[in-house]
A and B are shown apart, each in its own frame.
Chain A
């Protein structure tokens, strides 16, 4: 697989190849090269299957990390291609022309993270939520508890126990808390 790492580095400036398992590796590229990298991997390197596409909110470094998981069925190897995009201006190339199913993932990314993929079909339509009018809910600066408390009525009298303390008390009542 290191040949592939060298090839990707030479062609697209890919870096930080990391073998997570024997059949799974990850690599990083610049966002401007993501479409070309994926197209080459699909057409020339045998990674013909887009098995997953998602994003990770790395709010600390103000970036969304894209994760495109590809699969090479001949070699039995999966490759995750990462790229960081600007969190304040989250736009990334659409890959729906490479893999037809990608537009569904991209519609999901638009609704859940606010990541825009210009040209992706139906990307502005509602996907899972209906009538959502707040921040995209998978962003880490969206406060789910505060939203829930402000929107949905509580039933008074509910008590919540810390699971660890509760089980300790139940199993070992003589032990100090």
Chain B
């Protein structure tokens, strides 16, 4: 839980022009404050049973998300559906390899999502770089830049593996261990330093809320 007495310093937003800085948020992310007792368990149950995916195909693995919408796999029976904007979504599926250019959009989209939010990283590229282990433009571990709740291995994983991954995510949420958002808030400076190390033309707010 966050310490309410300590008010964190505003973010410098040095990537923005001075006249633009007042237009954007300069507050760092805060940890989620859990409700008391059974209420939080109920909320976790509700979150787990309505996973709304951000419909942003960040890599080639996103092609495996499409079959989930079809009658053969039918993700809707699990309460999973795609949403068009980060504000409406609770799950971000990193669909495979992430180039630095995509990583910038991933960070931006992740930070714009409403909490509590969860990340499913799909494919071996997100885990250790996969076949892009020597690429000049592809990151090798997504968890250096945003927190990850569930990894799904494979290159690329089939829709059944995705469904199994979502079931795993549900278990984690229901048990109250989906701490990604809190990890991000707690280690915000570390994540931000990693992001800025690879995104060299940082021209957005430090926290895109």
The distance in angstroms between the C-alpha atoms of A63 and B123, with both chains bound, is 40
B198 at the interface (CB under 8 A from A): yes
In the bound complex, residues from chain A placing their C-beta under 8 Å from that of B200 are 130-133
The distance in angstroms between the C-alpha atoms of A145 and B133, with both chains bound, is 8
The distance in angstroms between the C-alpha atoms of A151 and B129, with both chains bound, is 13
Identify the stretch in B18-26, B75-83, B139-147, B154-162 within 8 Å (CB) of chain A at 4 or more residues: B139-147
Partner of B133, one of A133, A134, A148: A148
Give the residues from 118 to 152 in chain B that come closer than 8 angstroms, CB to CB, to chain A: 127-129, 133-141, 144
Tell me how far the C-beta of A127 lies from the nearest C-beta in chain B, rounded to whole angstroms: 11
**Are A131 and B128 in contact (CB-based, < 8 A)?**
no
Give the residues from 125 to 177 in chain A that come closer than 8 angstroms, CB to CB, to chain B: 128-134, 137, 142, 144-145, 147-148, 151-155, 158, 160
The distance in angstroms between the C-alpha atoms of A145 and B104, with both chains bound, is 22
**Are A152 and B128 in contact (CB-based, < 8 A)?**
no
The distance in angstroms between the C-alpha atoms of A8 and B70, with both chains bound, is 58
**Are A152 and B139 in contact (CB-based, < 8 A)?**
yes
Interface of A is mostly: loop
**Are B135 and A153 in contact (CB-based, < 8 A)?**
no
Given contacts A153-B140, A154-B128, A155-B140, contact A131 B199 (CB under 8 A): yes
Q: How large is the interface on B (under 10, 10 to 19, 20 to 34, 35 or more residues)?
A: 20 to 34
Given contacts A130-B104, A131-B200, A133-B200, contact A155 B136 (CB under 8 A): no
**Are A129 and B141 in contact (CB-based, < 8 A)?**
no
Q: How large is the interface on A (under 10, 10 to 19, 20 to 34, 35 or more residues)?
A: 20 to 34
**Are B198 and A152 in contact (CB-based, < 8 A)?**
yes
B101 at the interface (CB under 8 A from A): yes
In the bound complex, residues from chain B placing their C-beta under 8 Å from that of A152 are 129, 138-141, 198
The distance in angstroms between the C-alpha atoms of A154 and B130, with both chains bound, is 11
The distance in angstroms between the C-alpha atoms of A76 and B199, with both chains bound, is 46
In the bound complex, residues from chain A placing their C-beta under 8 Å from that of B201 are 130-131
Tell me how far the C-beta of B193 lies from the nearest C-beta in chain A, rounded to whole angstroms: 12
Give the residues from 177 to 209 in chain B that come closer than 8 angstroms, CB to CB, to chain A: 194, 197-202
In the bound complex, residues from chain B placing their C-beta under 8 Å from that of A133 are 200
The distance in angstroms between the C-alpha atoms of A154 and B135, with both chains bound, is 12
B27 at the interface (CB under 8 A from A): no
Given contacts A151-B197, A151-B198, contact A144 B141 (CB under 8 A): no
**Are A129 and B101 in contact (CB-based, < 8 A)?**
yes
In the bound complex, residues from chain B placing their C-beta under 8 Å from that of A137 are 136-137
**Mask of A104-144 contacts with B, CB within 8 angstroms, 1/0:** 00000000000000000000000011111110010000101
Tell me how far the C-beta of A158 lies from the nearest C-beta in chain B, rounded to whole angstroms: 5
B127, B134, B139, most chain A CB atoms within 10 A: B134
Given contacts A130-B100, A130-B101, A153-B144, contact A148 B134 (CB under 8 A): yes
**Are A144 and B135 in contact (CB-based, < 8 A)?**
yes
**Mask of B96-113 contacts with A, CB within 8 angstroms, 1/0:** 000011001000000000
Tell me how far the C-beta of A28 lies from the nearest C-beta in chain B, rounded to whole angstroms: 31
A129, A147, A148, A158, most chain B CB atoms within 10 A: A148
Tell me how far the C-beta of B80 lies from the nearest C-beta in chain A, rounded to whole angstroms: 28
Interchain residue pairs with CB less than 8 A apart (11): A130-B101, A131-B199, A131-B200, A134-B136, A142-B136, A144-B136, A145-B134, A148-B136, A152-B198, A153-B140, A153-B194
Further pairs besides A129-B101, A151-B197: 8, Cβ < 8 Å: A130-B100, A131-B100, A131-B200, A142-B136, A145-B134, A147-B136, A158-B128, A158-B129
